Amino acid sequence: MAIEFTKYHGLGNDFILIDNRSSSEPVITPAQAIKLCDRHFGIGADGVIFALPGENGTDYTMRIFNSDGSEPEMCGNGIRCLGVFLADLEGESRTQDLYRIQTLAGVITPQLMADGQVKVDMGLPKLLAGEIPTTLSAADSKVINQPLEVAGKTWEVTCVSMGNPHCITFVEDVAAIPLESIGTKFEHHPVFPQRTNTEFIEIVRRDYLKMRVWERGAGITLACGTGACASLVAGVLTEKCDRIATVELPGGPLQIEWSEIDQRVYMTGPAERVFTGKL
Ligand SMILES: N[C@@H](CCC[C@H](N)C(=O)O)C(=O)O
């Protein structure tokens, strides 16, 4: 059976998008996703994203496999790509610029803006250790500036869930972090029972943060939308940054707001189609 796909990226965080609207199960298995994501023997991507029929009154459902075949709850750059993919699929019949998407992290709404950017209501961050999950604090406590031993060093970490787990640490110089060697040690640390994404953040100004990321199930990526949101929330919790800031990633900037009004996190950034193909 031939399967059509389209490659998209959000700030270099790249995905294979598949039109899965005729079935509620992904047409690709996790093992196949691993092969497709391979940058030497496959198409090359950080993950595979499926546009499935909506559930519970939503317009569509998003599922995603990381490049290691694991299934995360949410993906910020991916849901912007999905918004543009859906608009492309709907073509002439498109009637809306805001989609209600069911994800494993709840209903998320990407909105296509007139300037081509996509603004996403990423929902409420979860702050309690039991929700993240991590055993770094008691299940009903927040994890703010907790010491964590990794690679022979004590890091102060703050943990936030945007549906998926994030461990954030603030550093003087983000370029000096040996991400290749320590990223995997954070990801697989026993205090994170479902593994974790890890963000290293340099506060340049209260409204401008530099970030590098090691993603659970994908390793070093050029950008992570949920990670940028979680990092801004961590920056506010530790009184290091404002509620509205630019997060500069290796692939480019994202605008992030943790609203004082509704306590939801909003992310705005690009999503680009790269090419289409047939498997
Ligand atoms: N790149 C994504 C996050 C994808 C999921 C992540 N690897 C996980 O396992 O939680 C983003 O832009 O948010």
CATH code: domain of residue 90:
3.10.310.10
Judge if 114 and 153 occupy the same domain: no
Of 226, 233, 247, 249, which is best to mutate to test ligand 1, by the most ligand atoms within 8 angstroms of its C-beta?
226
Nearest to 223 by CA among 266, 271, 191: 271
Q: 76-90 and 225-237 helices cross at what angle (nearest 10)? A: 140
Mean pLDDT of each 10-residue bin along the chain, 279 residues long: 96 98 97 98 98 98 98 98 97 94 98 97 98 98 98 98 98 98 98 98 98 98 98 98 98 98 98 98
Residues 134 and 247 in one domain: yes
Closest residue to atom 4 of ligand 1, CA basis: 75
**pLDDT, position 32:** 98
How far is ligand 1, taken at its centre, from the CA of residue 276, in Å?
A: 22
**Is the CB of residue 232 below 6 angstroms from any atom belonging to ligand 1?**
no
**113 & 131 share domain:** no
- With a 6 Å cutoff on the Cβ, whether 79 touches ligand 1 is no
Query: Would you state the pLDDT for residue 267?
Result: 98
C-alpha 149 – ligand 1 centre gap (Å) = 24
Overall number of domains in the chain: 2
Q: Are residues 181 and 87 in the same domain?
A: no
The answer to whether the CB of 197 is under 6 A from ligand 1 is yes
- The verdict on 171 and 236 lying in the same domain is yes
The pTM assigned to this predicted structure is 0.98
Both 187 and 229 in one domain: the answer is yes
Residue 1's pLDDT is what? 83
* Residues 90 and 155 grouped into a single domain: no
The residue whose CA is least distant from atom 1 of ligand 1 is 224
Is the ipTM value over 0.95, yes or no? yes
Task: Identify whether residues 140 and 257 lie together within a single domain.
Answer: yes
> In terms of domains, do 242 and 140 share one?
yes
Question: Is 76 found in the same domain as 6?
Answer: yes
Going by the DSSP 8-state scheme, the letter that residue 79 receives in this structure is H
Structural domain that includes position 137: 127-262
Question: Active site residue: 37, 224, 229, 241, which one?
Answer: 224
Q: Is 215 in the pocket of ligand 1 (CB under 6 A)?
A: yes
| pLDDT (0 to 100) of residue 219 | 98
Q: Are residues 173 and 242 both part of a single domain?
A: yes
Asked if residue 272 and residue 257 are part of one domain, the reply reads no
Q: How many other CB atoms sit within 10 Å of the CB of residue 224?
A: 35
